[in-house]
């Protein structure tokens, strides 16, 4: 499973994996919670969401596999925190991405969609 239609470099693949992990609203929020609180047990994270414990555990696994968080067993619980190396790597990759355009800040007005006609 997970057939590759397209081939990316390992770094690109990893970056895409991170972006995909963060593209989910639940996981995006978990990252923020974790960043605010520095460190959290699974149960605490569960309590910040309306989701079942098993579901949150799944999301944590995705974030772990993407290298965005790390979990360490602390007695009977698992203690999660943001993986600073992973996040730093992500930020660097994004900043260096598409260097041929978009390197000066610009004010930004957002419209939902465009395509001049048709």
Say whether residue 46 binds a second copy (CB under 8 A): no
Choose the one of DNA, a second copy, none that binds residue 63, judging by a C-beta under 5 to 8 angstroms depending on kind. Answer: none
Binding residue for a second copy, selected from 29, 42, 57, 58, defined by CB under 8 A: 29
SS (H, E, C) the chain: CCCCCCCCCHHHHHHHHHHHHHCCHHHHHHHHHHHHHCCEEHHHHHHCCCCCHHHHHHHHHHHHHCCCEEEEEECCEEEEEECHHHHHHHHHHHHCCCCCCCCCCCCCCCCCCCCCCC
Say whether residue 22 binds DNA (CB under 7 A): no
Binding residue for a second copy, selected from 42, 57, 58, 78, defined by CB under 8 A: 78
Residue owning tokens 């991405």 = 97
Residue closer to a second copy by CB (options 38, 54) is: 38
Binding residue for DNA, selected from 29, 42, 48, 93, defined by CB under 7 A: 42
Region from 7-15, 31-39, 42-50, 92-100 binding DNA, contact rule CB under 7 A: 42-50
């Amino acid at each position: 499973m997970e057939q590759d239609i397209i081939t990316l470099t390992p770094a690109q693949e990893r970056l895409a994996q991170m972006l995909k992990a963060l593209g989910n609203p639940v996981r995006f929020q978990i990252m923020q919670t974790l960043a605010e609180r520095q460190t959290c047990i699974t149960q605490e994270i569960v309590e910040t969401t309306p989701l079942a414990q098993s579901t949150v555990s799944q999301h944590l696994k995705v974030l772990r596999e993407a290298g965005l968080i790390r979990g360490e067993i602390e007695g009977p619980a698992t203690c999660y925190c943001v993986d600073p190396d992973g996040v730093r790597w992500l930020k660097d990759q994004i900043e260096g991405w598409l260097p041929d355009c978009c390197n000066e800040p610009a004010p930004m007005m957002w419209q939902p969609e465009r395509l001049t006609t048709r």
